[in-house]
Amino acid sequence: MASSRTDRMPALFISHGAPPLVDDVRWVAELKQLAVDLPRPKQILVVSAHWEAAPLTIGSTDPRVPLTYDFWGFPDRFYDTVYNAPGATALAEQIAALMPAGEVHHDAERRLDHGAYVPLTVMYPDADIPVVQMSMPTLAPDALMTLGARLTELRDEGVMIIGSGFTTHGLPYLTDPSPDAVPPQWSVEFDEWARERFDAGDVDGLLDFAHRAPGMPYAHPRTEHFAPLFVTLGAATVADAVPEQPIDGFWMGLAKRSIVVN
């Protein structure tokens, strides 16, 4: 899935984790290096596992609107995070224009959630790149692929498309929630399967992950954290090749594998 076009912005799938993942020295170093290695985007579009809304909804482009702190029980410092990136108003309008008429809503009161701003605070800490977030209107992989395909042309205009989720997210089945926990077998098996599918460029296999992947349904009791991957893959084209996998490993036993479609 790596395009031969050198002027096309990459599309990413990032395993973003809970806010404390910013304390993971390895993940932060890898994500910072990834941002250095990639071309600098003019604008960023994020699809996060933490926003499901139908019809498709585009979030606020007003940086004065507070971030969405959609998590509970963490130290106060994680609720003090700010990320006042400029709102990508023109991009929001472009996205709406690429969708079927009447199938887009706007939410002026919902800004970036932690699936968006946690990785961005690491990758682009100066918060100087316009960012907008949109919802997932469905969790159906094929429909999300179609949605991603509608966004492909944005990559030629300097827009980085980021699907933000987690390669495994079986929180109910974790017995050791410590950051350095030994990953459970279901997480290891699913992660290895995903690595092989990415290496093979096997989009059909990935689309049917719920039935084909080992470790299911433990790896994804709900599939919202794997679903953003399909927006990323949809934004690829038939000429694209195998994605890069610059980040792997585990945190709290969950797989951090992330991909880049160049």
Which pLDDT value is given to residue 262? 83
Cis ω before 55 (30° cut-off from 0): yes
Does residue 196 lie in a domain region?
no
Does residue 19 lie in a domain region?
yes
Number of domains the chain is built from: 1
**pTM above threshold 0.85:** yes
Backbone angles phi, psi at 103, to 5 degrees: -110, 20
Indicate the DSSP class of residue 197: H
Does residue 2 lie in a domain region?
no
The rounded distance, in Å, linking the Cα atoms of 203 and 97 is 27
Does residue 56 lie in a domain region?
yes
Does residue 178 lie in a domain region?
no
| pLDDT tens digits along 119-156 | 999 999 999 999 999 999 999 999 999 999 999 999 99
Cβ–Cβ < 8 Å for 256, 250: yes
Which pLDDT value is given to residue 20? 84
Q: Could you tell me the residue range of the domain that residue 151 belongs to?
A: 11-168+226-249+256-261
| pLDDT tens digits along 73-104 | 777 888 888 999 999 999 999 999 999 987 89
Does residue 115 lie in a domain region?
yes
Query: The domain that contains 121 carries what CATH number?
Result: 3.40.830.10
One-letter amino acid for residue 223 of the chain: T
Cβ–Cβ < 8 Å for 162, 91: no
156 torsion bin: left (phi>0), alpha (psi -120 to 50), beta (else): alpha
| pLDDT tens digits along 201-257 | 999 999 999 999 999 999 999 999 999 999 999 998 655 667 999 999 999 999 999
Does residue 203 lie in a domain region?
no
Tokens of 118: 């946690």
Does residue 175 lie in a domain region?
no
Residue 68 β-bridge partners: 113
